[in-house]
């Protein structure tokens, strides 16, 4: 089954404790992206990647890091989480060219709480 998986689905942590949220897709997509969803603000893009070893900042990259060492994986790293990073996070992927680039596939989300 074609899918985007994220782990963990729920995480409660404390300020300053480094964490990683994993994202993996099995559709051989070049493009991957991280979003955060907050009430009243919709989805905002954090980082995206056009292919292996190619990443770029989205609209709200501060406090986050990403890496793309393999095509299928795109982990989101919070080196020193703060309470304002409490949010619902989504990973998404798509082809990067052609009509298939129109459709982004989303993971189920990771709800992060930073105390």
Partner 1 sequence: GDSVTQMEGPVTLSEEAFLTINCTYTATGYPSLFWYVQYPGEGLQLLLKATKADDKGSNKGFEATYRKETTSFHLEKGSVQVSDSAVYFCALRLSGYSTLTFGKGTMLLVSP
Check residue 109 for interaction with partner 1 (CB under 8 A): yes
Question: At its nearest, how many Å lie between partner 1 and the CB of residue 17?
Answer: 26
Of the two residues 46 and 78, which places its CB atom closer to partner 1 in the complex? 46
Stretch near partner 1 under the rule CB under 8 A, chosen from 13-21, 62-70, 73-81, 103-111: 103-111
Check residue 90 for interaction with partner 1 (CB under 8 A): yes
Check residue 92 for interaction with partner 1 (CB under 8 A): yes
What are the tokens at 13? Answer: 């942590």
For residue 52, give the DSSP letter: T
> Residues of 60-79 as b/e, b for ≥16 C-beta within 10 angstroms?
bbeebebebeeebebbbebe
Check residue 76 for interaction with partner 1 (CB under 8 A): no
Check residue 48 for interaction with partner 1 (CB under 8 A): yes
For residue 84, give the DSSP letter: G
Check residue 55 for interaction with partner 1 (CB under 8 A): no
What are the tokens at 18? Answer: 């480094």
């Amino acid at each position: 089954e074609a899918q985007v998986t994220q782990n963990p689905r729920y995480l409660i942590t404390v300020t300053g404790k480094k964490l990683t949220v994993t994202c993996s897709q099995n559709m051989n997509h070049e493009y991957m992206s991280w979003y955060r969803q907050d009430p009243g603000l919709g989805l905002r893009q954090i980082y995206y990647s056009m292919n292996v070893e190619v990443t770029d900042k989205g609209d709200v990259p501060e406090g986050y890091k990403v890496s793309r060492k393999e095509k299928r994986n795109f982990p989101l790293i919070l080196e020193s989480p703060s309470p304002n990073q409490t949010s619902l996070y989504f990973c998404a992927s798509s082809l990067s060219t052609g009509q298939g680039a129109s459709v982004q596939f989303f993971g189920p989300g990771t709800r992060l709480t930073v105390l």
